[in-house]
Amino acid sequence: MQENHWEISSKTSYWGWNLKELWSYRHLVASLIRREFLLNYQQTVLGPVWILIQPIMTLITYVVVFGKVVGIPTGSIPPLLFYFSGIVLWNLFNDSFSGTAFTFKENAHIFSKVYFPRLVMPISVVSTHFLRFLMQLFLLVLVMVYYWLFRDMPLPVTPLLLTLPAIIVVIGAIGLALGLFCSVVTAKYRDLVNFISLGVRLFMFITPVIYPMGAVPEKVRWLVEINPLTPLFELFRYALLGEGTVTVPGLLYSVSFAAISLLAATLVFNKQGDKLIDIV
């Protein structure tokens, strides 16, 4: 018999989790991801194609509304590619955030019946969205190849492409970190749910999703600049499409924001997690 001793007491600690335990639940994470895909596309006509249809529909709307009607300049990047890159990246953030922001509320039933590291749930959600993002990214690359073949757009094969995985991870981390914070808050105060969905929608407008950094008027620029997502979006476009406003301090700001907030959020999540079961 294993001689692993344990103790349960009233104290909850920030460090009350260990990677070893989390690792032993990796198969649960894998099967939750699998479940998510199965659930979403079982008994549907188009199946997993929906992962691509949603951004395409958004893309069409943006191209028509912001490109044709409002006429936001997109520099030398074709509007289609500009909006698409923004949408794909925004979806990653938005899904990672919204998917985890209600962890306790949505899993109250199962959390109150069985113990497993609570972090398993947000991790599996973020992983699911990450896989979805990869599919959408693949579509984006296909569109780029089309532009390269038929519109003579140069393909930016530069060392900067190597930053893409890092950008994706940092954006996912920020989404997860904010989501974990919110999951603790929404478990206690239900009425904040409405604020959060409104907030994330407003947040999109201070992120360079539908406009380039260069097009922001000087007066409100600070608003976009304090957003840690901004440098990442700009770098993403710069690496992929060759145009964007990138500064090293900006990137450092984003990365440290992501690291600190993810660490803090995980600690708060663990500290509060055990107590919240009594409340949700």
Which residues are near another protein by CB under 8 A?
A: 1-10, 12, 24-25, 27-28, 31-32, 34-35, 38-39, 42, 110-116, 188-189, 191-192, 274-275, 277-279
Write down the least CB distance from residue 256 to another protein, Å.
Answer: 29
Token pair for residue 162?
A: 């190597």
Nearer to another protein, 68 or 190 (CB): 190
Contact 255, 194 (CB under 8 A): no
Write down the least CB distance from residue 64 to another protein, Å.
Answer: 36
d(CA 40, CA 36): 6
Nearer to another protein, 45 or 157 (CB): 45
Contacting residues for 277 by C-beta, under 8 A, at least 6 apart: 108, 111, 112
d(CA 246, CA 167): 13
Write down the least CB distance from residue 167 to another protein, Å.
Answer: 32
At residue 86's C-alpha, the angle toward residues 183 and 264, to 5°, is 30
Nearer to another protein, 10 or 71 (CB): 10
Nearer to another protein, 42 or 249 (CB): 42
Nearer to another protein, 12 or 256 (CB): 12
Q: What is the DSSP letter of 10?
A: S
d(CA 187, CA 104): 6
d(CA 206, CA 99): 21
Nearer to another protein, 6 or 150 (CB): 6
Write down the least CB distance from residue 189 to another protein, Å.
Answer: 4
Contact 63, 70 (CB under 8 A): no
Write down the least CB distance from residue 177 to another protein, Å.
Answer: 21
Write down the least CB distance from residue 128 to another protein, Å.
Answer: 14
